[in-house]
Amino acid sequence: MMQQNPDFDFLVRLAEAAAAVVLPQFRTPLSADNKAEGAGFDPVTAADRAAEEAIRAIIGEAFPQDGIIGEEYGAAGQQADRIWVIDPIDGTRAFLAGIPVWGTLIGLLDKARPAFGVMSQPYIGEVFLGDGSAAELRFRGGRRAIRTRPAEAIGAATLMSTSPRLFTPEERQAYERLAAETRNERFGGDCYAYAMLAAGHVDLVVEAGLHVHDIVPLIPIIEGAGGVVSSWDGGSPLGGGRILAAADRRLQEEAIALLGE
Amino acid sequence: MMQQNPDFDFLVRLAEAAAAVVLPQFRTPLSADNKAEGAGFDPVTAADRAAEEAIRAIIGEAFPQDGIIGEEYGAAGQQADRIWVIDPIDGTRAFLAGIPVWGTLIGLLDKARPAFGVMSQPYIGEVFLGDGSAAELRFRGGRRAIRTRPAEAIGAATLMSTSPRLFTPEERQAYERLAAETRNERFGGDCYAYAMLAAGHVDLVVEAGLHVHDIVPLIPIIEGAGGVVSSWDGGSPLGGGRILAAADRRLQEEAIALLGE
């Protein structure tokens, strides 16, 4: 039996359900747990968990045969053709610092192909949506199609990354080779950097150490807007790890060459 | 003759005049000039200039005896007791990347004392205001007083800085000594980091290479919220350069000790 596809309105419904529980917790004193005791600071909040529960409940009712992978509650139904991938709050460090560039990420893998994705930033009121062939931004009642911008030479490119601390020393060297060739570099992105690439304001995003749920939901948005996503060597981005997003294929190739030198 | 003080509503009026010319340029293709030819990338936009003109016009009409220092159009009336300090778009790199953590900064020095300040982020719809003894956030029709949060130990602190590229190698070493002691570090702040410190979400902001107009307008907001601002060695922050903002004096002292080791 062919399953019905979700549409953008369904993705927005998921995002709104998450926002309803996350936004009241934003910029309040949080009791941050520590998932990684003794291994640095990995903040997790009650909002994170409540959002994932809300998203899972709606998906479970609408598409009971689908599988789900979530950051907080793990995997269920992994034998299904379709798997939802959820990161209720991507960018928890930004969230804890009050900076509204975190987002709720929800994606759908259809036979291992990223088919639908949403990134929602509810404090600002933005929802970025994509299905691999189109992408749009909904903002306070309006909506518009988004596109990556035509790649200029890499010397005119704007590069984003969340933090140089993401990288191992070896990765850092590769990143620095690339960054030195670009014109404008900006740290502090999380998922918001990929949304700005899809919307045509950023040309390259380069990160490392990403989880599957950090990147899969963003792929249909970036590809729907005309961009490309891969690993640093041009391979599949589906496993997370070292991720390169580019406004178009030519820029991607230049970046791969610099990262791999 | 005693001059009348501006009130928060006047500062909001200035911020709104700037927003009216800046917001239509945000996330559009920009013709970025290059102020620092041959010395890296220092984007300046038409929006920057138009915003400063709009702000200067209103100040000139309301307070014709006051002096003005602006990022774009330089200084006028520097012999006056009161000097307005304007940065029409603080965080032009963020602006160019579409990331809404840039802000319009307007401050008033009264006999060299930072007396009033505003930071406006019009895409999000936030205006942060301060007069050295109180601070507030106006957000989409609402307003609330803001306060820094009580300092926890530095090991529980959230630290922000715009980019590690701000620092000279020597400054970088000092920054790293401090960063290693904190729990949560976040790059990509610009003026927004100071606003989050004032609002109680960030404990420390450490930067270098700041201009006078980058920091003076933020001081009355931070101090009005209970925080402190100084140079890295505890001296006056009025000249810009190496700036340390802290949620309270105890945390400031710990940070000064680490930066100066």
Q: pLDDT by residue (tens digit) across A185-218?
A: 999 989 999 999 999 999 999 999 999 999 999 9
Assess whether pLDDT exceeds 80 at residue A43. no
Least confidently predicted of A29-33, A104-108, B195-199: A29-33
Convert the pLDDT of each residue in B70-107 to its tens digit. Answer: 987 888 888 999 999 999 999 988 998 999 999 999 99
User: Distance of CA A109 to CAs A16, A218, A231, B117, B215, Å?
Assistant: 21, 11, 18, 49, 47
For chain A, how are helix, strand and coil distributed in percent, rounded to 5?
Answer: 35, 30, 35
Assess whether pLDDT exceeds 70 at residue A36. no
Cα-trace Rg, chain A: 17
Residue A176's pLDDT band, with cuts at 50, 70 and 90, is: very high
Average pLDDT value for residue range B190-205: 97
Instruction: Choose among A93, A186, A199: nearest Cβ to B186.
Output: A93
> pLDDT at position B2, please?
56
Structure tokens given for B115 = 């007396």
Interface of chain B toward chain A, CB-CB under 8 angstroms: 27, 29, 41, 43, 93-94, 96-101, 123-124, 149, 158, 160, 162-165, 183-189, 192-193, 196, 199, 201-202
User: Distance of CA B236 to CAs A203, B72, B160, B233, B241, Å?
Assistant: 39, 24, 20, 9, 10
The nearest CA of chain B is from the CA of A202 a distance in Å of: 5
Q: What is the pTM of this model?
A: 0.93
Structure tokens given for A48 = 């994170």
Convert the pLDDT of each residue in B26-84 to its tens digit. Answer: 998 754 444 444 444 444 568 889 999 999 999 999 999 999 999 878 888 889 999 99
> pLDDT at position B30, please?
54
Average pLDDT value for residue range B190-216: 97
> pLDDT at position B44, please?
55
The nearest CA of chain B is from the CA of A11 a distance in Å of: 23
Residue B242's pLDDT band, with cuts at 50, 70 and 90, is: very high
Is the CB of B97 less than 8 angstroms away from the CB of A184? yes
The sheet with strand A228-231 has its strands ordered as A184-187, A158-161, A204-210, A241-246, A228-231
Convert the pLDDT of each residue in B10-29 to its tens digit. Answer: 999 999 999 999 998 899 87
ipTM confidence: 0.92
> pLDDT at position A2, please?
56
